[in-house]
Structure 1
Amino acid sequence: MVAHKGERRQHFQHAADGDGRTCASSGETALHKFAKKSLAVALRLKLPALRESNGRNSLDVVHEGDFVFDSAVLEKRHGEIVPDVVCRRAGRILHVEFLVTHACGPEKLAALRMLDVGSIEIDLSGYRDRPLDTLADAILSEAPRTAARPGRREADRSLH
């Protein structure tokens, strides 16, 4: 925190990093919380296409499109990890991670693959300065998203 003693107003402000952003290392951001809640309420998400290949054959695991889920649970432990949101559709599971200040590390990505479920990371780092009331479409369909390669059993079945 930095004290500001202005003529009109005195206040405290979070100290800025070298790039001018504040709170980069603080706990969960308002955007991160808002993203999780938006997905849980909407129960829909645009997913990118995911195609698996072994060199000779390839399989469309997921076709790009809007998916509607039966349920979504926030921060539910699954094995060694706690995904931001666990979505379910007809008995299938999708783990959703929201990148606001830092991406999933290699250990978490490896743990997701070991769980043999689909996962996606949605990059909201470029949306930090937008008002929350304008973000629902970005969260659910516009923001860059990357599907993580699922485990072997998941690649044998598509979401469709």
Structure 2
Amino acid sequence: MTGSVQRSLLFLDVDGPLIPFGAVSQTYPTCATGPDLLDVDANPLLTRVNPEHGPRLAALPCEVVWATTWMADANECIAPRIGLPQLAVVIWPEPGDLDHQDERNGLHWKTRALVEWAAGRPFAWVDDEVTDTDRAWVADHHQGHALLHRVDPCQGLTDGDYAALDSWLRQLS
């Protein structure tokens, strides 16, 4: 389409941002259940997923994309629990295809793949493993705007995280 503007991307990790790993066991709302959803007995960590994340993510002015090792399972297990539709999923390179020099230099193994997937589009990356090395590499190798937002894995996404993401994404609109 001529004149159409692509929305910014939000690459979302699951473990840490949506499934917090607090050192002290915390009580999180039990997610909705249904016959289509993975039994929490099969993965008890799913009880840590706060269903309020769905509406908050959907309200952000962006296209949310799963950027997690859960891959397609995020659409089967997480999206229905938080009320999100099926989302695009980043397909990661095979371990043998990764540049191990990147790893030795401190670059996260997801970083190159996310920049390639974005293909110049503005993006926010929400993960608990983002570092300054990733930020510097993205600044040098990505043509568009990028926000690499680290979430505290003990807390998961918080009000402050949503405020920062919303503010950054709206500045691009």
Q: Classify the TM-score, shorter chain.
A: 0.3 to 0.5
Q: Which has the larger radius of gyration?
A: 1
Q: Normalising by the residue count of structure 1, what TM-score does the alignment of the two structures yield? A: 0.34
Q: Normalising by the residue count of structure 2, what TM-score does the alignment of the two structures yield? A: 0.32
Structure with the larger strand share:
1
